[in-house]
Structure 1
Amino acid sequence: MSTLAEAQEQRYAAMAAGDADALALLLDDRLVYTHSRGDRDDKAAYLDRIRSGELLYGPITHREDPPLLLDGAAIVVGEMATEVRARGTTRLMRNAFLAVWSDHDGRWLLTAYQPTPLP
């Protein structure tokens, strides 16, 4: 059993390490992962992009507001920044985001993610 904050930290660490196996344990099977350019992946597609090296993250800095806790779910908003290499192009990302986490018997899993690029 982990806290929501621990699950978030584990997800960022797995993303930065390119560890798709660790990331898989933190993602809901119903995942809808929207990228900052608007394309979307389900869980399998997102993990495939991580495993193949098509999507590589650098160290990630982030800040979250206190989560909005609902019955069996949490909505988290905040900001994150990283360097990402996607489809052969490296760029700096600085996004506001909205993340939806769901509680699965004491395990928090990311169910939806939506970033918005900041100016």
Structure 2
Amino acid sequence: MADIDKDIQAIRDLEDRRYAAVVAGDFNAFAAACHPDLIYTHSGGVTDTLESYLEKCRSGFYTYHEIDHPITKIVVNNDVALVLGEMNAALTAGGTRKQLRNSALAVWVRDADTWKLIAYQPTPRT
């Protein structure tokens, strides 16, 4: 398997694990997949740091019930990977149950020998 194919498979696996972690409420596993400088933007336009997002998740402000995240394309360029796809979810945010249908862009960077999520941006689909 070529290095680029290994990177693409690694990113695909990391995407699966990060989504599974938030649904399971395993925010330590989610944090382990993230770069300390994470910029996490929500579909409503609010942006969180890693710390502020984890605080909201751990306090129950965000409770993810299920997430479907089909991947359309993964582009790897040296130490940066772009993941284009969808993020469709059932969640409770601030006490309100929501259904999300988003297109999404996740950005991963290679930090030493490990890929870390550094940015996430969903866009609502109509």
| TM interval, short-chain normalised | over 0.9
Query: What are the Cα deviations for residues 78-103 of structure 1, in whole angstroms up to 9, with x where unaligned?
Result: 01211111111111001001110011
The counterpart of 2:52, out of the listed 40, 45, 58, is 45
Q: Which runs of 5+ in 1 are unaligned?
A: none
Give 1:106 shift. 2.7
Contact in 2 for aligned 1:77/1:98 (Cα 8 Å):
yes
Partner of 1:73: 80
Query: How many Å separate the matches in 2 of 1:96 and 1:106?
Result: 29
Partner of 1:59: 66
Query: How many Å separate the matches in 2 of 1:80 and 1:23?
Result: 16
Query: How many Å separate the matches in 2 of 1:8 and 1:65?
Result: 12
Give 1:17 shift. 1.0
Partner of 1:35: 42
Give 1:65 shift. 1.9
Query: How many Å separate the matches in 2 of 1:104 and 1:58?
Result: 31
Contact in 2 for aligned 1:75/1:98 (Cα 8 Å):
yes
Instruction: Give TM-score, length-normalised by structure 2.
Output: 0.89
Contact in 1 for aligned 2:66/2:91 (Cα 8 Å):
no
Partner of 1:100: 107
Q: Which runs of 5+ in 2 are unaligned?
A: 1-8
Give 1:66 shift. 2.5
Partner of 2:16: 9
Instruction: Give TM-score, length-normalised by structure 1.
Output: 0.94
Higher helix fraction: Structure 1 or Structure 2? 2
Aligned pairs, number: 118
Runs of 4+ in 1 over 3 A off after TM superposition: none
SS at match of 1:9: helix
